Amino acid sequence: MEYALTATKNKARAGSYYDRIARFYDLTFKFNGYARSLDQYFANHPLPVSRGDKILDAGCGTGLLTLALLRAIRFPVSITALDLSSTSVVAARKSLYYSPGRKRDVTFTQGNLLCLPFADESLDLVVTSGALEYVNLADGLNELARVIAPGGHLLHFPVHPSVIGVLLEIMFRFKSHPPRFVKDETEKHFRIVHQYHFPKKEMIGWSKTAILAQKI
Ligand SMILES: C[S@@+](CC[C@H](N)C(=O)[O-])C[C@H]1O[C@@H](n2cnc3c(N)ncnc32)[C@H](O)[C@@H]1O
């Protein structure tokens, strides 16, 4: 089984695996209740953001998490949603176009999360789901931490080892990082505020957790 390590800091593949499977990914994750689980999570765990805050969705894919952010945040913010796959970015733009809500708050861009187009300590919140599994974890967290201001937050949704996790690894060609390693690497830059385990009755509960962490 070949895993698709998508990028290093200086080199990203011209076009990601997701350029080929963006539509399949979008349909699978719309069908499995992912967006509903995100909505419930945000309803019970209000995001640590204020009006006008700068937010990044790193590895936004087809925009499922970006749109969940937009539904959860009731005041104007500035969200940049970035992905290596230009096909995914096009799909995400289309989803935003057809969604209700404040479209002006979101800008989509193609890019590598290991080499972000932001100044040091310039963002208030970075969210990421399903993308760190495609890169060297230490490099990924290092770059996300670089752009977050002290006191700002990282919300990530690491895949944890499970039968469903292995199935997803095969379908989407990623490699999940061991939970202990995720915690240790996160704590190099952040203080963990909470780790949430989704209920097992939700599909996401079989494969992912949520970690909210504050930049030290
Ligand atoms: C499993 S999908 C998750 C998409 C989205 N975050 C969501 O929650 O639905 C993983 C995404 O990470 C993107 N990705 C992988 N490596 C990346 C990198 N180095 N920089 C930016 N995006 C990357 C892929 O192109 C893909 O769209």
Residue-wise pLDDT tens digits, 93-111:
999 999 988 899 999 999 9
Q: How far is residue 185 from each of residues 30, 132, 182, 191, 208, measured CA to CA in Å? A: 30, 12, 5, 11, 17
Establish whether residue 26 lines the binding site of ligand 1, counting it when its CB lies within 6 angstroms of any ligand atom: no
pLDDT at 1 over 50: no
Residues 46-56: pLDDT tens digits?
Answer: 999 999 999 99
Which comes out higher in pLDDT, residue 149 or 161? 149
- Using only C-alpha atoms, the chain has a radius of gyration, in whole angstroms, of 16
Superfamily (CATH) of domain 18-215: Vaccinia Virus protein VP39 (3.40.50.150)
Strands 209-215 and 190-197: antiparallel
Q: Ligand 1 within 6 A of 198 CB?
A: no
Domain boundaries, given as residue ranges, for the chain: 18-215
- Alpha-carbon distance of 153 to 55, in angstroms, equals 10
At 2 the pLDDT is 52
Average pLDDT over residues 85-98: 96
- Mean per-residue pLDDT, 184-211: 95
Cα gap 24→139, rounded to integer Å:
28
Q: How confident is the model at residue 135 (pLDDT cuts 50, 70, 90)?
A: very high
* Residue having the nearest C-alpha atom to atom 27 of ligand 1: 61
Give 50's DSSP letter.
-
Closest CA relative to residue 111, chosen from 76, 147, 72: 147
Helix (H) or strand (E) holding 107: strand 106-110
The chain-wide mean pLDDT, for the chain, equals 93
Q: Which of 67-81, 142-156, 158-172 has the lowest mean pLDDT?
A: 158-172
**CB of 60 sitting under 6 A from ligand 1:** yes
